Amino acid sequence: MQETMERTWLIVAMSISPLFVYYILKKIRKVVIQWALKHAYKDNRHALLALKLLGGKNPPLDEFQSLLPSLPVPKLSSTLKQWLESVRPLVSEEAFRRAEEAAKEFESSKEGKDLQVQLVKRSKQCSNWLEDWWVQFAYLRQRVSLMTYVNYFCTDSSDFIFREPYTSDPIRRVVDLIESALDFKHRVDHNTLRPLRIKNVLPVCMKGMNKVFGTTRSPGDDCDELKTHIVPEDGDAHVLLMVGSSMFKLPVQVGGKRVSNSSIEQAIREATRAADSQGKSEWGEGRHAQPHVSQLTGLSRNKWASMYREMVNSHEANKEGIRTIEEALFAVSLLEDSVDSGDLHQYVNICLHNRGRQIWFDKCFTILAFKDGRVGWHYEHTYADAPVPGLMCEHAMVNGNPSSEDIRCYPRPLLAFSDAPVSASPIRWQCDALPGMKQWLREAEEETRSLLSDFDIRPFYWRNFGADVIKKCSMSPDAFCQAVVSTRYWGRAVLTYESASLRVFEGGRTDTIRSATSEVCEFAREFVKEKRILALINGMPLPKLFQEEAYNLEFQLATSQSPIVQEHEKVPVELMTLGGGFGPITSPGLGISYHILPDRLYFYVSVRSKDAEEDSKRCVEYIQQALEDLKGLLLRCPPEKKKS
């Protein structure tokens, strides 16, 4: 009996021991990774090695999320020191002396110390002390129009822009993109999307992925609200379809089953025919027979909030229409424009604002389908910064392209499909219950016209060299592009915003790099000194934008660099987007987005000024000249020595 018991205990122990050892090893791995994440962003070699060895090849999306470090609180003295360094080249000696005195006084004051204590206390109560404040004050409390002040856009693939897309049928094209976007959502929902890792080692926060679909910035008095509609696994889901001023609820999931591509395509074609067959109304005819309600979303936020509230309270049909839009996963807009691949100036302007029509600017993202089969992407900015929905766009562009079957990062997910036919139901606005609608639309038309009268955005594609050549000269490609931007200022310094990623921290988004440093300004002044004298002799005028009073230390120049490729490293550059851009954050102001590729650079220059179209053209010319001049500097650089 005793021998039997001993044998039983031995068997139990032997079966439990491997599980116990596995449990202990898993705990140790978690502790080591957590330690490594706290030190790796400081370029600690041991931490980076630990992440490389223990990170795994195909971890689930949330593998590192709970282990990411909290955003640290900088010391007050460090903050003030960096602030003084950033404003030094921008103000007079007298103004800087006063700033120094104010900084010293604040650092030693009770108020300064108390505020720092409160900041440290807040950092211990949440994973990211900045996250909520950033969303609230940088976005939700801003009252300007989203159209050109907040939102941004992304282009179609290079191949489809400069050559013909694989289909000239816009409906066929958007069906493929809808499918690919929904495949991406499926991976996010089922935790099978791999977390992004810098150089395949250092993981970044993937929190924003849950907001890419179904998110809407709902207007409010003085402060908007961010809403994300979560679709149950066995529930129904739809996309907002816009055809002219007509809007439809397009089902893409029924009872937890994905609607087939053929059914979605048929539903879109039927909706398009229904929109075009509408008779004449007080608003227009055909696909424009409904009021252009989407135009209201481009108004300043308080105006739109007042109208929104009245719409929701006016009639159940209007309330249901708003609910349908806000619960949509995203929007698809069938445009009547074609793309002129020889001049993309009009194309990028349509992608960003489309003259205020056929974009529900509050919606997370919109696929803009041009009638020649090309597309553009429009994004609301509040819920996440460009790399987050950009990853979705990257997957959709690759997986939605029939020629990229062999270079996809993921296989098509195995899904249950519904073959039952579906129809896109129209959103009908009860305007009888909204006597102010005509006046609202007139107001929106006037405000849009005024907003766009001093705005322009223009693309510039530089194909002479890219990151590879710059790196050979031991230069940072990003610093090089900032030097390009600075030299195009002809030696004049203004407060410059460059976005910096904080995604190595839990809930991290972006912070501000004040890139107009003393060193950069000195370089720009010295570099353009001879060129500037020559320009003055030749009578070349400075852009009107910079003849305005501009020493108020607003971020007159906003710059941003976003990756075009985050995961599909083997994809030819021609199959990927040409990047995208945004509008200036001040008036007057300038916005420059740039995208760095191994053999080329893409720029998007936006201007808000009295003569925006002419100024944007000049800005592009100056950037091109700066690149030509700096190219000469690169050619004089000795080649980078290989490390032995």
Q: Two tokens at 160?
A: 């489809």
**Residue 10: per-residue pLDDT:** 57
Q: Specify whether the CB–CB gap between 495 and 371 falls below 8 A.
A: no
Distance CA 308, CA 429 (A): 13
The amino acid occupying position 557 is L
* Active-site entry in 39, 229, 345, 381: 381
Distance in Å from the first CA to the final CA of the chain = 70
Q: CA 67: distance to chain centroid? A: 25
Q: Which residue has the higher pLDDT, 14 or 330?
A: 330
- Please say if 381 is a catalytic residue: yes
Tell me whether domains 134-453 and 456-636 share a fold. Answer: yes
Which long-range contacts link 107-113 to residues 24+ away (Cβ below 8 Å)?
Answer: 107/76, 107/77, 107/80, 112/76, 113/76
pLDDT at 15 over 70: no
**Residue 487: per-residue pLDDT:** 64
In angstroms, what CA-CA distances link 521 with 487, 495, 529?
A: 8, 11, 12
Domain residue spans of the chain: 2-55, 76-127, 134-453, 456-636
Distance CA 470, CA 235 (A): 51
Q: What is the CATH number of domain 456-636?
A: 3.30.559.10
Bridge pairing between strands 331-334 and 365-369: parallel
Q: What is the average per-residue pLDDT within 75-80?
A: 86
pLDDT tier at 534 (50, 70, 90 boundaries)? Answer: very low
Mean pLDDT of the chain: 85
Which residue has tokens 């809007």?
247
Q: Which residue has the higher pLDDT, 169 or 24?
A: 169
Q: Where is average pLDDT lowest: 328-342, 483-497, 559-573?
A: 483-497
Write the DSSP assignment of 186-254 as a string of letters: HHHHTT-SPPPEETTTEE---GGGGGSSSEEEE--SSS-EEEEPPPPTTS-EEEEEEETTEEEEEEEEE
Q: Specify whether the CB–CB gap between 63 and 195 falls below 8 A.
A: yes
Numbers of helices and strands, H then E, in the chain: 19, 19
Q: pLDDT exceeding 70 applies to what percent of the chain?
A: 86
Q: What is the average per-residue pLDDT within 564-580?
A: 84
**Over the stretch 34-69, which tens digit does the pLDDT of each residue have?**
898 888 888 889 999 999 998 888 999 999 999 999
State which of 94-103, 294-303, 466-475 shows the largest mean pLDDT.
294-303
Beta-bridge partner residues of 372: none
Question: 597: helix, coil or strand?
Answer: strand
Which one of 2.40.110.10, 3.30.559.70, 3.40.50.300, 3.30.300.30 gives the CATH number of domain 134-453? 3.30.559.70
In angstroms, what CA-CA distances link 480 with 73, 510, 524, 601, 621?
A: 30, 21, 12, 11, 18
pLDDT tier at 312 (50, 70, 90 boundaries)? Answer: very high
